Structure 1
Amino acid sequence: MTSQVAVFAAVFAALYAAHSFGDHWVQTHRQACAKAAPDRSGRLACAGHVATLTLTKAAAVGVVIVVTGLPLSPLALLLGLAVDAVSHYWADRRVTLARLAEVIGKGDFYRMGAPRPGADDAPHLGTGAYALDQSWHHLWLFIAALIIAS
């Protein structure tokens, strides 16, 4: 019988790899640019991104199940993926994560590396906002894997 620890480890690895691929390769340029807009188009772009990202994660876990015979509860899998999807949508609307960063005293870090208004003087991907975004997602991947393994 497969231990819950092994299930957790396999699921976390699959979710982590799928998250990185889905967040950077599957997400469209339009979704990435529009998902923070404070209107219906922004909400739809973010929902579209989260939907394709969640399908990518489900496919990765599915491959692990098929290849290894990993025993998973379908209900736990759905619940874990749903919790992860909701947390991802919340963070990717951007203003939510920026507000959280301000509230907990991380606002300066969140803005680190961002271009100055009207200037493109940060030609790299390494910003405080990106680091906080990805670490937020990784935390929720961990939580989702715990739910799925339970």
Structure 2
Amino acid sequence: MQSTISSAAVRFAVAYGVLTSAHEVGDYIVQRNSDAVAKGKHGPEGAAACARHVTSYTATQAAALWAADRRFGLGLDWRRAAAGLAVSALTHYVADRCAGHWARTDPDAPLLVRIAHDMGKKDWLTKDPRAGALLDQAWHKGWIGLAAAIAAGHRTQP
């Protein structure tokens, strides 16, 4: 029983590390400047820019997860990996569609800002110029943890 727990923990740790590092690459290096600027705009232009960004972001995470699986023989199930990547992609899209609308003093602002207001973080949002970016990254990395847990789950038997 111990080896099953250990192998699951190792798969999770590797998946989390790989998805998090690929997140940094996909979010900051791979993302096109034009998409970074437009992804929060209202309407089809913003939605298309965000979709392009999330597509390249998810491809970056998928390639990194595939490479780690091959290199370390993790034995990840591709269906679970795809489900984990879908969680990461969907939640990334939700947050990034809000990114261009930071109205940090407005409680009617987008999702992440509303959540922070509801948690009593108004002063932090208005006084710390890094608050928006930190909130965004905390959101992403929290969901990456769930994505890694899904991806690293037990392999289903054929």
Q: What is the TM-score normalised by the length of structure 1?
A: 0.86
Q: What is the rounded CA distance, in whole Å, between the counterparts of 1:88 and 1:113 in structure 2?
A: 23
| Matching of residue 43 in structure 1 with residue 43 in structure 2 | no
Gaps of 5+ in 1: 115-126
Q: What is the rounded CA distance, in whole Å, between the counterparts of 1:107 and 1:41 in structure 2?
A: 30
> What amino acid is aligned across from residue 131 of structure 1 in structure 2?
L
Q: What do residues 63-116 of structure 1 show as CA deviations (whole Å, max 9, x unaligned)?
A: 1012111101111001000011111111111232222222322233234444xx
Q: What is the rounded CA distance, in whole Å, between the counterparts of 2:27 and 2:122 in structure 1?
A: 23
| Corresponding residue to 2:28 among 24, 29, 49 | 24
State whether residues 31 and 46 of structure 1, in contact with CA within 8 Å, keep that contact through their aligned partners in structure 2: yes
> Which residue matches 1:120?
none
SS in 2 for 1:3: helix
Counterparts of 1:46-85 in structure 2, within 5 Å, are: 46-85=50-89
| Corresponding residue to 2:147 among 121, 144, 148 | 144
> What amino acid is aligned across from residue 56 of structure 2 in structure 1?
T
- Runs of 4+ aligned residues of structure 1 deviating over 4 Å after TM superposition are none
| Corresponding residue to 2:114 among 58, 78, 99 | 99
Aligned length: 138
> What amino acid is aligned across from residue 143 of structure 2 in structure 1?
W
Q: What is the rounded CA distance, in whole Å, between the counterparts of 1:86 and 1:110 in structure 2?
A: 25
SS in 2 for 1:93: helix
RMSD: 1.5
SS in 2 for 1:38: coil
> What amino acid is aligned across from residue 16 of structure 1 in structure 2?
T
> Which residue matches 2:125?
110
What is the aligned-residue identity percentage? 38
| Matching of residue 34 in structure 1 with residue 26 in structure 2 | no
> Which residue matches 2:132?
129
- Kindly tell me: are residues 60 and 30 of structure 1, through their superposed partners in 2, closer, same or farther at Cα, counting changes over 3 Å? same
